[in-house]
Structure 1
Amino acid sequence: MDIILSNSSDKPIYEQIASQIRAHILAGTLVSGEKLPSIRALANGLGVSVITTKRAYSDLEEAGFIETVQGKGCFVAAGNQGLLREEELRRMEALLAQAAALAETLGVTRADLHKALDLVAPETHE
């Protein structure tokens, strides 16, 4: 599992970690039941505080992406990938609705909004 952190990002480090693990789960590169690195091992591997990785794991557990088994570690949550993906799609749609509303306020045409999306959207899932 590759996690790339950026000190120049406006996102806090724990959020960068959580969002990349979430992306791995949604993409299927981390599968249901798979054991995640321990909080300490991940912190050491990334060169960050244990508190930072604990916060990322806590956020992921609260959102239903991972589960903690006392004495055994953290695992990708079982059986709800489809539900989690639907939730993320709803979140994406809400953000797109905000962008569309802002575009309308600014007088940006739908065609120009599409062009802007093409510029910022990654080309990995075409």
Structure 2
Amino acid sequence: MDIIISNSAGVPIYEQITQQMKGLILRGELREGEALPSMRLLAKELRISVITTKRAYEELEREGFLTTVPGKGCFVAPRDLELVREDCLRRVEEHLSQAVQIAKGGGVTLPELADALTILYGDD
């Protein structure tokens, strides 16, 4: 599992882990029932505190992305990926709506806004 942590991102480390794991699950790179690394192992691999990985796993469990089986570990939870994707799309639309309002207020044209979005989306 490739998780990249940035200390200069301005986003808490646990949130970076949470966002990246959600992405891996939504893209199908982590499948339903697949075991996740233990909190200690992930902390060791990322060279961060176990408390940070614990917080990320708790957040993922609270949002229904993983389940914990006592004595066995954490696993990708069964999900209706279409509902998750729809929720993601709804949140994207909310943020884009704000961006459109800011763009209109600043005189940014639709082609300029589309170009900016294309650049930001990139081809990671």
Identity of aligned residues (%): 53
- How far the C-alpha of 1:27 sits from its partner, in A, is 0.7
Instruction: Name the residue aligned to 1:56.
Output: 56
Instruction: Measure how far apart 1:8 and its partner are.
Output: 1.3
**1:70-102 deviation line (CA, Å, top 9, x unaligned):** 221111111322221221111111111111111
Post-superposition offset of 1:10: 0.8
Cα deviation code 1:84-124 (max 9, x no counterpart): 12211111111111111111111211111111111111225
The aligned residue for residue 26 of structure 1 is 26
**Are 1:30 and 1:76, in contact at CA under 8 Å, matched by a contact in 2?**
yes
**Is it true that 1:40 corresponds to 2:40 in the alignment?**
yes
- Residue matched to 1:94: 94
Mapped to 2, the partners of 1:8 and 1:120 lie a distance apart of 18
2:79 and 2:11 mapped to 1: Cα distance?
29
Tell me the amino acid that sits aligned with residue 40 of structure 1. R
Checking the alignment, whether the CA contact within 8 Å between 1:32 and 1:76 is kept in structure 2 is yes
Q: Which amino acid aligns with 1:112?
A: E
Moved more, 10-19 or 115-124: 115-124
Q: What CA distance in whole angstroms lies between the structure 2 residues aligned with 1:72 and 1:95? A: 39
Amino acid at match of 2:111: A
d(CA) in 1 for partners of 2:111 and 2:13?
35
Q: Equivalents in 1 of 2:58, 2:79: separation in Å?
A: 19
Quick check: 1:65–1:84 contact (8 Å CA) kept in 2? no
Q: Report the RMSD for the aligned CA atoms in angstroms.
A: 1.2
**Equivalent pair of 2:33/2:75 in contact (CA under 8 Å):** yes
Partner residue in 2 for 1:16: 16
Instruction: Give secondary structure in 2 for the equivalent of 1:74.
Output: strand
The TM-score normalised by the length of structure 1 is 0.92
Q: CA deviation at 1:58?
A: 1.0
Question: What SS does the corresponding residue of 1:123 show, helix, strand or coil?
Answer: coil
